[in-house]
Structure 1
Amino acid sequence: MSIHPDHRPDTGTRTAAAADRPPADPTGDDTLDLRVGDLVALLTGGQPAPSATPDAASDSPSESADRRLDGDLLDSVASWAPADTRLGRFRLAPVRLARDLPLLARWMNDPAVAAFWELAGPDTVTADHVRAQLEGDGRSVPCLGVLDSTPMSYFELYRADLDPLSRAYPARPHDTGIHLLLGGAADRGRGVGTALLRAVADLVLDHRPRCTRVVAEPDIRNTPSVSAFLSAGFRYAAEIDLPDKRAALMIRDRALRHVL
């Protein structure tokens, strides 16, 4: 199973313009996000607090402080504890190009992966893709998925609210996106992707308390990927148009994580 990051997560070289605000919520359940502090201020006649915005250039002082504490804007993925899954002990290991490039390039040249990731070719193609994230501001973190002691998958965790993806749906502050590929053909089609997606979504929600939703945007044609997300507790929120694909917007809500 592979999930193609067609929109290429923004690594920090640009921000969404005001004219690119997301359209009305296609699911109808995100039409009003009023924080408790804002509600109290309104009831007492005070001024509501400024709304959060996906534009990194207009952070509030508290958001700027949050960024400094984050270090990589994703609450220090490298420090996250491993997760116990039905497959074994799983952890995310941020990519080190000098160590991991040969493995990643081999995976990217698997035809089943290349069909969606479009990174087949010499090692430099994969290196350029990963390096753009490593040298960005930390809004996208490429990781190896390590099961027990074996690297067997590749993940990209990214701040969906700071990414061009936020123009295609009503993003909330700290929405966290996932891209995934399974490296070995033997791991595909037997529920491994579902188990890892659930584990990674849980890791995000456990270690990112400000994140209320984990999101993904697999190609609508990639039926196995969409099915894996559904089985992992994500809901099918909408179909959205991205530059190079029509995608299924998948959302896993913190409030529903123990229900779905």
Structure 2
Amino acid sequence: MTTTTRQPVHTETVEGFGTITLTPVGPAADAALIHSWVTEERARFWGMAEYSRELVQEIYEDVDRRTTHHAFIARRDGLPVALFQTYDCAEDRVSKCYEVQPGDTGVHLLLGPTQGAAEPGFSACLIAAFLAYVFATGATRVVAEPDARNEKAVARLERTGFVLGQEVELPEIDLPEVYLPAKRARLAFLYPTLVIR
């Protein structure tokens, strides 16, 4: 199934910004786009800088097969602007690092490259739409675990309303279908009442 046949799971129109849609990643159709984003220097904390397009496709094919992990392309007025991912914390390596509560949903966010000067409020609008979707799917708490060195991501989470937790060591995952190196991460937690737009 390709992106063109996948339907958005969330659509939100933000006055003065445009219409944001979240559509499940189509691994074959979206691999080239995702690869072009994750291999940029600014995306170094995503951990895929050296990956080939084929490996990126394989990774998102693995995500696509799972019922606990999901990936979405965010579009603004039809143009792709970000990659969002969600996962069940109880079924992820982060569960080894803190006491998971029912309803904990993990998130990852990678903004696509911008055209021209930075637009005030751009990331805030996208994140708010993404969080609205996550909470609408039944999450009672959102968990983030950015690379501990990624000061910009940590600061963005704080501005959004996340409460910072401890630094942890996410364990290495080495399976036939997926490899993730160990990562020093900073936990952050968000409840629905704390979301700041």
TM-score range, shorter chain: 0.7 to 0.9
Root-mean-square deviation (CA, aligned residues, Å) is 2.4
Candidates 150, 159, 174, aligned match of 1:231: 159
Question: Relative to structure 1, is the Cα distance of residues 144 and 188 closer, same or farther in structure 2, using a 3 angstrom cutoff?
Answer: farther
Deviation for aligned residue 1:142 = 1.1
1:126-137 to structure 2, matched below 5 A, reads 126-136=56-66
| Structure 2 length-normalised TM | 0.80
Partner of 2:107: 178
Instruction: Tell me, in whole angstroms, the C-alpha distance in 2 between the residues paired with 1:225 and 1:81.
Output: 24
Superimposed CA distance per residue, residues 118-172 of structure 1 (whole angstroms, 9 cap, x where no aligned partner): 2433211211211111122x11111101111111111111111221211211111
Partner of 1:242: 170
Question: Relative to structure 1, is the Cα distance of residues 188 and 143 closer, same or farther in structure 2, using a 3 angstrom cutoff?
Answer: farther
Partner of 1:40: none
Instruction: Tell me, in whole angstroms, the C-alpha distance in 1 between the residues paired with 2:63 and 2:128.
Output: 24
Report % sequence identity.
27
Q: Look up the SS of the partner of 1:146 in the other structure.
A: strand
Partner of 2:175: none
1:91-240 to structure 2, matched below 5 A, reads 91-136=21-66, 138-186=67-115, 190-205=120-135, 207-209=136-138, 211-240=139-168
Aligned length: 180
Structure holding more strand per residue: 2
Instruction: Tell me, in whole angstroms, the C-alpha distance in 2 between the residues paired with 1:109 and 1:188.
Output: 20
Q: Which runs of 5+ in 2 are unaligned?
A: 1-6, 172-181
Partner of 2:4: none
Query: Which structure would you say has the larger Rg?
Result: 1
| Structure 1 length-normalised TM | 0.62
Instruction: Tell me, in whole angstroms, the C-alpha distance in 2 between the residues paired with 1:81 and 1:118.
Output: 27
Q: Which runs of 5+ in 1 are unaligned?
A: 1-77
> Does the CA-based 8 Å contact 2:45-2:147 persist in structure 1?
no
Instruction: Tell me, in whole angstroms, the C-alpha distance in 2 between the residues paired with 1:188 and 1:248.
Output: 26
1:17-32 to structure 2, matched below 5 A, reads none
